[in-house]
Structure 1
Amino acid sequence: MALSDEIAERLLTSIIDGHYPPGTLLPVEDELAQEYSASRLTLREAVKVLRSQNIVRIHRGRGTYVNAPDQWTALEPMIRAEARRPGGTVSEKLIEARELIEAGSARLAAVRRTEDDLTELAELLEEMKETAGAGDTDAFVDADIAFHQVIMRASGNAFVPLLFQPFGRLLVDGRRETSAVPQIRENAIAHHQKVLDALRAGDPEQARQAMEGHMAQTADDLRTHVLKSDG
């Protein structure tokens, strides 16, 4: 990693950690260069990286200011910033994003899936049932995520699976957060069965509705069993 990129990453971490909240004027160039033991040119390049993602903005003659995360144009930094917010808003927003993408994926998969896809989905659903009964949350989450990945792949659109890659760890943590509750695991299994039945029937509208129902149940489970207990 280039030194300028490393400094940009360290600056971003300071911003996400709240050291430089939205609207804050960053220290002057000389001060930051001294803090990070870098030349002014290297520091300038680091700030340029953040500016390209709209994490900061430059006002001529006034300095460099931090923008709010909802103005940032890079997904990974925004996810990191959202993950630091309290109150479960990240999990709820993630479910909303999943619904937008996965309902459409299920609709496409209903007419494009193969028999091999259906077989794999059935096997993963059985694995979810077995691991739920054994109380193995990690294995349940692995099977759950794999089930959805098969559907996205079966959509026949190579861009769809890539849309979730930036969420990475956040997606896994969100599933683990809800799947740790036995009742939520039972609800998930029932809705996965409905999705699989719709895909077997080759009915795009039924598949879309089944996935939307699954997402709605997931959001309700989060509010009822996880966020409520946290409060």
Structure 2
Amino acid sequence: MGRRGLVDEAIQGILDRVVDGEFPAGSSLPPEADLAALLEVSRPTMREAVRSLSDRGVLRVVHGRGTFVAPQEEWRDLPTLIGVLARTTPSRDLGLQLIQVRRMLEVGAAGLAAEHRTDDDVARMGDLLNRYDAAATADDVDEVAELDIAFHEAILAASGNPFLAAIMQPLAEALSASRRTTAAREDVRSRAQEHHRRIFRAISDGDPATAKDAMRGHMTQTHDDIAAL
């Protein structure tokens, strides 16, 4: 295994112990030599892992005192936070939290998509919805979940704002797990597709206000479906 792989393993080893409660927020990590032995890596590899987690806000290095686990509200790296929350938060609660984030971003994205969509964007979204119908008819849950995500990603792309897709990308794995849970129910995916069609029509018609209202309704429906699980 290369050095990068060893560092990644050491990072994961520290995060595993944060999740398991061995290294709770506010606690200090073991001395350097002890931590390297615990992680079964060299001291330089351990130092690099600590430096990486410090850059992410997970650890706080206090010179002369030691290295401490920071509270989650101080963490600065979204993928790291999502990875830990996915392991420590009940899936239903995590899904509801993700919906809050999606509502804030995707309602505005739908309005922008209605303003900036191209013919290619409209064709892409229409094709995805048709494929969603076929997958739902075949009861292919994984395909339905993937196409659901792809449709929403197509809206972000059609918005013309590259920051939106970049912000949502780290959420992809957690969103995928949530989508598979809801896509397993025929009534839920049927309701979702009705909302998708409304959003699509508004974007295709170039109607930002209606597109935002349709996406807002979709987020409310998704929230209620997850809450009922």
Calculate the TM-score normalised by the size of structure 2.
Answer: 0.89
Per-residue CA deviations over 1:63-117 (Å, capped at 9, x if unaligned) read 2221222221011110011101233221111111112221111111101112222
Pick closer, same or farther for the CA change 1:165–1:107 going to 2, 3 Å.
same
Instruction: Give the equivalent residue in structure 1 for 2:26.
Output: 23
Instruction: Give the equivalent residue in structure 1 for 2:53.
Output: 50
> How far apart are residue 171 of structure 1 and its match?
1.6
> How far apart are residue 47 of structure 1 and its match?
1.6
Instruction: Give the equivalent residue in structure 2 for 1:169.
Output: 173
Unmatched 5+ stretches in structure 2 = none
Pick closer, same or farther for the CA change 1:120–1:34 going to 2, 3 Å.
closer
Is residue 69–residue 81 contact of structure 1 (8 Å, CA) maintained in 2?
no
Identity of aligned residues (%): 39
Distance in 2 separating the partners of 1:89 and 1:23: 25
> How far apart are residue 38 of structure 1 and its match?
4.2
Deviates most, 162-171 or 40-49 = 40-49
- Taking the TM superposition and a 5 Å limit, the aligned residue runs for 1:79-228 are 79-87=82-90, 88-224=92-228, 226=229
The alignment status of 1:70 with 2:73, answered yes or no, reads: yes
Deviates most, 173-182 or 34-43 = 34-43
Amino acid at match of 1:217: Q
> How far apart are residue 39 of structure 1 and its match?
4.4
Per-residue CA deviations over 1:118-138 (Å, capped at 9, x if unaligned) read 222222222222222222111
Is residue 114–residue 205 contact of structure 2 (8 Å, CA) maintained in 1?
yes
Pick closer, same or farther for the CA change 1:36–1:81 going to 2, 3 Å.
closer
Distance in 2 separating the partners of 1:91 and 1:54: 24
Is residue 56–residue 76 contact of structure 2 (8 Å, CA) maintained in 1?
yes
> How far apart are residue 186 of structure 1 and its match?
1.2
Is residue 5–residue 49 contact of structure 1 (8 Å, CA) maintained in 2?
no
Unmatched 5+ stretches in structure 1 = 227-231
Pick closer, same or farther for the CA change 1:37–1:209 going to 2, 3 Å.
same
> How far apart are residue 192 of structure 1 and its match?
0.5
> How far apart are residue 167 of structure 1 and its match?
2.1
